[in-house]
Chains A and B, each alone.
Chain A
Amino acid sequence: MIIETNGLSKKYKKIKSKGLLKKEYIDYSAVNNITLSIEKNEHIGLVGLNGSGKSTLIKMILGILQPTGGEVKTFDRDPVKFRQKNAMHIGIVFGQRSQLRWDLPPIDTFKLNREIYRIPVDVYEERLARLTKLLDAAEFLYQPVRTLSLGQRMKAEFIAALIHDPELIILDEPTIGLDVVTKNSIVSFLKTLTDKTIIFTSHDLEEVEKVCSRVIILNRGKLVLDKSIAEVEKLDTPTTIKFTTQDDLSKIQGKLEIRKVSDSSYEVADIASDEVKNTLSLITGQLDIQHIEVKRSKLEYLLEQTAERRDNFES
């Protein structure tokens, strides 16, 4: 078992109102009673909207944040106490903060990391060559980081985080702001790391589905879903079709439940997956369509569902 948590919680005091003399605080649960275990070589997608508690959970796993309740074990140890020991086996990429030295080429940070993680020179050279090739990074290793594009910088961050061949790789929104090409090359790179445990946080479920074997969804600090990727794929997510037309809708009225969004723009929501094809052909066959869009947002749907379920449960 690489990571195990039991009833893990983190509460913050938030300033509710600031008076002249005293401040009023309210308790705010960033992470609320999470129990999960992650095994070796699992690729976990940790998904949630902003402020759902992903980063807080990650920080507690890393031992840079102390839980207020429950327990967490990383490599079967208390991560806060054994932070430096654990750190030898963990590689981290933060999408929004950099470990690279801003005014120097990435290669210098790699060399520093070689010393920090005590990597023998020959092993280091070999790993560097392999990572550079996999990530197609050879051309910019010797350019100062401040001159790199975001995509290049992220690739360099990946190399810096993986140069010590960590068992556990934590990727905190690493694809934020990247273009599709770079995203794809990082995704396919991650797929090759089958002998590693990966925790990949994102607010994009589709992307996580490509990389991960298991998905964990957090919402407002609570664990709302923990399923294998196969199960998630099987989930029937209703689809929404949006279209724009100047035609008269009377031809299909009655057959479908159409909602008008704005002038000549309409929406059909909650279509079951086996109905999508029929609905599409009905619309496109009968009407002169200017623009059509099929949307299936699993994450939104799942979050909605679980939120409703909880509301019902609580009331």
Chain B
Amino acid sequence: MRYAKLLREYLKVNLKALAVYDLDFYFAIFGMAIQNILNIVALGFLFNIVPSIKGYSFQELILTYSLATLSFSIFRCFFINTLNIAEFINKGTLDTILVKPINPLFQLINQRADEDSWGDLAVSLILVIFVDVQLGYPWYITVMFIFISLFTSLIFMGLALLGNTVSLFSNGLSDLAEVTFDFFELSKYPLSIYSQALKWILTFIFPIGWIASIPQERIAQHHEWYWLFVIPVICVVFFVIIYQLWKLFLNKYQSTGT
């Protein structure tokens, strides 16, 4: 309850901060929308060369793309600040977080909002709905995808926190922000295009496959509804394990100090 109230206050403040960047904010949303459309156009070019890629049609490939983008933009809208921990350590802002009577991760997440991910969120949401209609999927599949995406964004956050541990360990030396973006790139395509070894890694070590490829295959193609339960559990378990690790490294950071 207390955290819910706090969250509301943080949201208000963050939205206000976004409003400062007025012109640029709209530019960003516009730019992101265009970038998404162009990405899809580029995907479309591929289908000028072949009719289907590993059995995936153009629409199906767009669905993988937009599911990954939806999940990633939820992560960016709400949890992006976890990527800035190296900067927080270097500027000493992490200390001002640690001396407050609130969970440090909660504060870190809410410390800043990202201005240009809202465009992505809107575009990917529209895309998911649009492609589902194109493919003739019933409406509840779309709802399921949106529900699943709320959880799969936790995988991105987990990966970001994993990168954080390196920053905490090295006192803000290295910044692993970019790597989360690379993971996002990997998640945009069906697992079946990758080699066996890579498929295995992306399922069991860095669970990227769970973000778009597995939900699409299990739910939209095979209608195996129990995955609606399995996927969120996997996401939460992954996140909790990484969060424990993160806390461990935060304590370690406290024992070394600056």
Contact = CB atoms under 8 A, between A and B. Distances in A.
Contacts of A62: 98-99
Contacts of B92: 94, 96-97
Q: Interface centre among B20, B100, B102, B103, by most A CB within 10 Å? A: B100
B13 A112 contact: yes
A104 interface: yes
Interface stretch (A77-85, A260-268, A290-298): A77-85
A87 B100 contact: yes
Nearest to A96: B92
Given A64-B95, A108-B13, A116-B6, A59 B257 contact: yes
Chain B interface size, as a band, is 20 to 34
A118 interface: yes
Interface string A104-118: 100010011001111
B93 interface: yes
B257 A56 contact: yes
A65 B255 contact: yes
A116 B95 contact: no
A88 interface: yes
Contacts of B254: 64-66, 80
Interface string B1-29: 01001100110010011001000000000
B16 A108 contact: yes
A94 B98 CA distance: 13
Contact of A83 (B2, B91, B93, B98): B98
B254 to A, nearest CB: 5
Most buried by A among B16, B103, B254: B254
B244 interface: no
Interface string B225-240: 0000000000000000
Interface in A1-35: 10, 12
A312 to B, nearest CB: 33
Nearest to A90: B99
Contacts of A83: 98-99
A103 interface: yes
A123 to B, nearest CB: 16
Given A94-B92, A108-B13, A64 B20 contact: no
A50 interface: no
B102 A94 contact: no
B257 A65 contact: yes
A144 interface: yes
A282 to B, nearest CB: 51
A218 interface: no
A210 interface: no
B96 A92 contact: yes
Contact of A84 (B13, B20, B101): B101
Interface string B67-99: 000000000000000000000000111011011
Given A94-B96, A104-B16, A111-B13, A87 B255 contact: no
A130 interface: no
Contact of B17 (A59, A101, A111): A101
Nearest to B7: A115
A99 interface: yes
Contacts of B5: 115
Interface string A264-298: 00000000000000000000000000000000000
A301 B100 CA distance: 38
A59 B95 contact: yes
B158 to A, nearest CB: 23
Interface string B146-161: 0000000000000000
A293 to B, nearest CB: 37
6 contacts: A64-B98, A65-B254, A65-B255, A80-B254, A84-B102, A87-B99
Task: List the 5 closest pairs (A to B, CB-CB), nearest first.
Answer: A87-B101, A66-B255, A97-B92, A64-B98, A99-B96
Given A88-B101, A116-B100, A144-B20, 17 more contacts: A10-B257, A64-B99, A65-B255, A66-B254, A80-B254, A83-B98, A84-B100, A84-B102, A85-B101, A87-B99, A87-B101, A94-B92, A94-B96, A96-B92, A98-B93, A108-B16, A112-B13
